[in-house]
Amino acid sequence: MDNTAIHEGDYVLFILNERKNFLVKVNRNERFHTHKGYIDLNDVIGKEYGSLVKTSKNIEFVLAKPTIADFIKKIQRKTQIIYQKDAAYILFIANVASGKNVVEIGTGSGALTAALAYYVKPTGHVYTYDINLDFLELAKRNIEKIGLSEYVTFKNKNPIEGIDEKDMDATIIDIGNPWDVIKPAFNSLKNSGILVCFCPTINQVEKICSVLKENSFRDIHGIELIEREYQVEAGKIRPRTLMIGHTGYIVYGRKSFS
């Protein structure tokens, strides 16, 4: 199938400007309505990604092929999701790549789950745990929409009672009491496997670092990432007034023998 052309059933990112875009599934005989007029989706089918389309009010939209980041921005959510700046760093330091097997503790709405699944495919797998069945069901729908279901196993189980998987490459923890799952995570990881915790408060960082050291984790680090976007209009280059400041702290370390 031609990946440069838009087919019925494909998702398309309709871009008006750098601040306004819409993720739309292209269904035949339907219209996409916006405040700038509507677009007949029949006219989109067969066009190439990157081309332009005009609304009924003669306003141009760019037809872009969605990235995993675009899908994650638009997912349904019942919980706060991990920001892209933090998710990207977590993927990097946890060495998440095709063929890796990863445990996630705290599925939430499935945003990080989707990123993990996207990068471990096609030969790796993500095992994600959450004690809240409603969160898991929502995450399942989000992952299915993105087309990553075959790379994720959802578990409605308290990981404090044990993690089923062994010899895992990495474990990512995003719950309020991460210290309670450090021992199960240690038993689940392969030797020198990476453990990453996302902690909203500095009190959590202090406690989790102590517990990691007590449980034979080494090379422990704690960081915070700040993101500032720039206005990129010619002659008006400057930092934007609003920025993404504190979102959380990332603590990570490696499994070792005591």
| pLDDT at residue 61, as a whole number | 95
Average pLDDT score over residue span 110-138: 97
Q: What is the mean pLDDT of the chain?
A: 93
Mean pLDDT calculated for residue range 172-188: 96
**CATH 3.10.330.20 residue window(s) in the chain:** 11-66
In the chain, where does the domain assigned CATH 3.40.50.150 lie? 71-255
Give the class (CATH, top level) of 71-255: alpha beta
Confidence class for position 231, pLDDT limits 50, 70, 90? confident
Give the pLDDT of residue 2.
Answer: 61
> pLDDT tens, 190-224?
999 999 999 999 999 999 999 999 999 999 999 99
Please compute the mean of the pLDDT values over residues 139-145 and round it to a whole number.
95
232 within 8 A of 207, measured Cβ to Cβ: no
Report pLDDT digits (tens) over 5-22: 999 999 999 999 888 899
How distant is the alpha carbon of residue 33 from its chain centre? 28
Q: How far apart are CA 99 and CA 121, in angstroms?
A: 7
Q: Residues of 196-232 as b/e, b for ≥16 C-beta within 10 angstroms?
A: bbbbeeeebbeebbebbeebebeeeebeeeeeeeeee
Kindly give the residue spans of alpha helices, DSSP state H, lying in 40-132.
Answer: 68-73, 84-93, 111-120
Q: Has residue 153 got a pLDDT over 90?
A: yes
HSE (CB half, 13 Å, CA atoms) of 13?
18
CA distances from 125 to 44, 133, 206, 211 (A): 35, 21, 31, 27
What local confidence, expressed as pLDDT, does residue 100 receive?
98
pLDDT at residue 3 in the model: 72
Average pLDDT score over residue span 29-45: 93
Could you tell me the pTM of the whole model?
0.89
DSSP state string for 133-175:
HHHHHHHHHHHHHHT-GGGEEEE-S-GGG--S--SEEEEEE-S
Q: What is the pLDDT of residue 258?
A: 60
CATH number 3.40.50.300 is the correct assignment for the domain at 11-66: no
Banded model confidence at residue 51, pLDDT cuts 50, 70, 90 = very high
Determine the Cα–Cα distance for residues 172 and 215; give it in Å rounded to an integer: 16
**How much of the chain exceeds pLDDT 90, in percent?**
82
The predicted structure's pLDDT at residue 135 = 95
